[in-house]
Amino acid sequence: MSLRLSILSAVAAITATAPLLQAAPPSRPNIVFVFADDHALQAISAYNYRGLSLNQTPNIDRLAAQGAIFRNNFCGNSICSPSRATVLTGKHSHLNGVTAWQKFDGSQFTFPKALQQAGYQTAIFGKWHLVSNPTGFDEWMVHPGQGSYYNPDFITPQGNKRINGYATDVTTDLALDFIKRNKDAGKPFLVMCQYKAPHRTWQPAPANLNLNKDRKYPEPATLFDDYAGRSAPASKHRMGIDRHMRMDYDLKYPADKIFELGRMTDDQRRDFMAAYQEDNRAFEADPPTGKDLVRWKYQRYLRDYLACVASIDSNVGRLLDYLKEAGLERDTIVVYSSDQGFYLGEHGWFDKRWMYEESFRMPLLVRWPAVVKPGTSVSQLTQNIDFAPTFLEAAGVAVPREIQGVSLVPLLKGESPPWRDALYYHYYDGPGEHGVAKHYGIRTERHKLIRYYADADNTWELFDLEKDPNEMKSVYDDPAYAAIRGELTKKLDQLKTQYANPIRTEAEEKAYLSKQAGK
């Protein structure tokens, strides 16, 4: 038996897998997985989301032009840690054990483990946010907790280290160093390059502190949403730009209250303070009030958020340029995604968590020159449970039966296989700091059904996304939608069964989450 077949047989035995979906290609591709935190589709120009033109991301857009852009990719639980656990395992939150910010059980199956066992060199750098140490990686250096934008700390097998610089640049440096050291090692590699940005509190790189200073961004149509058309949970949020976004912590007014100032060098601190000084003085001279204050907050928020995105885009360019320079471009899969979407003022919000479109959606762009036709656009409903089986099939590694996702390789090849007609979502962490009620639901191509199961009134919402893309008015009680409501409810029950996710009573839910948190 050949060495390759021996390796694959060993992996199959270890993971109790189903038969291989396809034979390993003659040259198994390298995989560069670039994962941002809270990067909304609205802030990627290739998506042209609802015709918005907030910024330009030419390097991320290269992936769409040279590969595939997934137009309908979603998460299963719109919060950082659960999404990351789902990407690693190919399983929804209730099965991988991470329903909120909890310790990840590193003994369970993950796709990096399977690739490592199949002969890949594996590494992860940057944001981890899963409490436990990474497993399945030959090398790892990850931020403690949320990490820091300036002079970030890293947890490593050899102990904690601090590296001077801006976190997005530093993480890319580590990923590039790994690629350079392993490109001629005779083994394919997986490197997960995971950025802190553009997570709250949106601190731009030194070179980008004044990048958007003179920009004025268009306001979303729902910036002053009054939530009149929805059920009660939407109006009980605590994530509004108007009332919940902090002037000091979030908006750098005053700039000397930012908690990261203490870890900055003198030069970094000076430049950071100077970048906000002029606008802060203008604010003090004529403080806006009411809706004008909300508008001021929105503009500053967008300037900082999009400046963080600009650093990501330039670093994606660094990765792509090196792969081409090193002759690795054709045989390397490059993926760009984010753990979930984010609100950039839609419904008056920042943050995520809801099953509404802006946080439910995840960007996904994939370049694989040996397989994917440039300019491919994928419209099928895909989800983060699909990432792990995709990487496994691409590497010719068996997909375990426990994985709940489906490989995207056929879609990347331009094929049209039978595909899912609905997606399942479940948010467990409510109401929490941001006042988002626990809910679950189903989304089809046109409709979305949401149940707030912990709400005293057991509230439901139904949206017709074709007629109401901004999700401003629930039609759950509209007699004209009675048949659709019945079909969606039935399909939702089917998905709960398919994904082995029984919905518990409130008392049972609390006991379950308490048990998970104690793992």
Tokens matching residue 306 = 């999009």
Share of the chain above pLDDT 90, in %: 87
First-to-last C-alpha distance (Å) of the chain: 41
Mean pLDDT of the chain: 92
State the average pLDDT over residues 117-134. Answer: 97
Do domains 3-202+303-421 and 424-517 share one topology? The answer is no
Query: For 269-302, what is the HEC assignment?
Result: HHHHHHHHHHHHHHHHHCCCCHHHHHHHHHHHHH
Q: Tell me the backbone φ, ψ of residue 476, rounded to 5 degrees.
A: -60, -40
Band (pLDDT 50/70/90 cuts) for residue 513 is low
CA atoms within 13 A on the CB side of 432: 18
CA distances 173 to 112, 179, 315, Å, are: 21, 10, 9
Task: Print the SS3 string covering 94-158.
Answer: HHHCCCCCCCCCCCCCCHHHHHHHCCCEEEEEECCCCCCCCCCCCEEEECCCCCCCECCEEEECC
- Domain edges within the chain: 3-202+303-421, 229-300, 424-517
So what's the pLDDT on residue 458?
78
Give all strands (DSSP E) within 307-457, no chain letters: 332-338, 364-367, 376-378, 382-383, 423-427, 439-443, 447-452
The whole-angstrom separation of Cα 317 and Cα 57 is: 10
Asked whether residue 22 carries a pLDDT value surpassing 50, the answer given is no
Consecutive H or E run containing 87: helix 80-89
Asked if residue 441 lies in contact with residue 448, where contact means CB atoms within 8 angstroms, the answer is: yes
| Averaged pLDDT for residues 468-493 | 97
The predicted-structure confidence for 363-404, as pLDDT tens digits, reads as follows 999 999 999 999 999 999 999 999 999 999 999 999 999 999
SS3 379: coil
Label residue 51 by pLDDT band (50, 70, 90): confident
pLDDT (mean) for 463-472: 98
248 exposed, middle or buried (CB, 10 Å; 0-12, 13-18, 19+)? Answer: middle
pLDDT digits (tens, 9 = 90+) for 145-171: 999 999 999 999 999 999 999 999 999
Contact, 427 vs 354, CB < 8 A? yes
Burial of 487 (0-12, 13-18, 19+ CB in 10 A): middle
Mean pLDDT of 174-186: 96
Q: Convert the pLDDT of each residue in 84-99 to its tens digit.
A: 999 999 999 999 999 9
pLDDT at 264 over 90: yes
Give the type of residue at 53.
S
With CA atoms as reference, report the closest residue to 198 among 387, 341, 299, 321: 341
Q: For position 4, what pLDDT does the model report?
A: 32
Q: Identify the H or E element spanning 170.
A: helix 167-182
- Nearest Cα residue to 234 out of 507, 460, 424: 460
Contacts 24+ apart (CB under 8 A), 142-149: 142/194, 143/167, 143/196, 146/196, 146/199, 147/196, 148/196, 148/260, 148/263, 149/196, 149/197, 149/203, 149/260, 149/308
> What does pTM read for this prediction?
0.92
pLDDT of residue 519: 52
For residue 497, give the amino acid letter: T
Ranked by mean pLDDT, the top range of 98-102, 428-432, 480-484, 510-514 is 480-484
**What is the biggest distance separating any 2 CA atoms in the chain, rounded to whole angstroms?**
78
CATH class of this structure's domain 424-517:
alpha beta
Whether 1 shows a pLDDT value over 60: the answer reads: no
The encoded tokens of residue 467 equal 């007629």
pLDDT tier, 10 (very low <50, low <70, confident <90, very high otherwise): very low
Most confident of the ranges 48-52, 250-254, 513-517:
250-254
In this predicted structure, the answer to whether residue 280 has a pLDDT above a threshold of 80 is yes
| 271 has pLDDT over 80 | yes
Read off the amino acid at residue 23.
A
Is 21 a residue whose pLDDT tops 50? Answer: no
Q: What pLDDT, on a 0 to 100 scale, did the predictor assign at position 511?
A: 66
Cα separation, 221 vs 219, whole angstroms: 6
Residue 447 has pLDDT above 60, yes or no: yes
Q: Given this model, what pLDDT does residue 502 score?
A: 75
Q: Which residue has the higher pLDDT, 472 or 507?
A: 472
Q: State the pLDDT confidence band at 518, using cuts at 50, 70 and 90.
A: low
Q: Considering Cα of 355, then 358, then 361, then 362, what sign does the dihedral take?
A: negative
CATH code linked to domain 3-202+303-421? 3.40.720.10
SS3 of 304, please? helix
Q: What is the pLDDT of residue 510?
A: 61
Q: How far is CA 455 from the centre of its chain?
A: 27
Tell whether the model's pLDDT for residue 16 goes beyond 80.
no
* Lowest mean per-residue pLDDT among 20-34, 185-199, 325-339: 20-34
* Residues written for the chain: 519
- pLDDT by residue (tens digit) across 212-252? 999 999 999 999 999 999 999 999 999 999 999 999 999 99
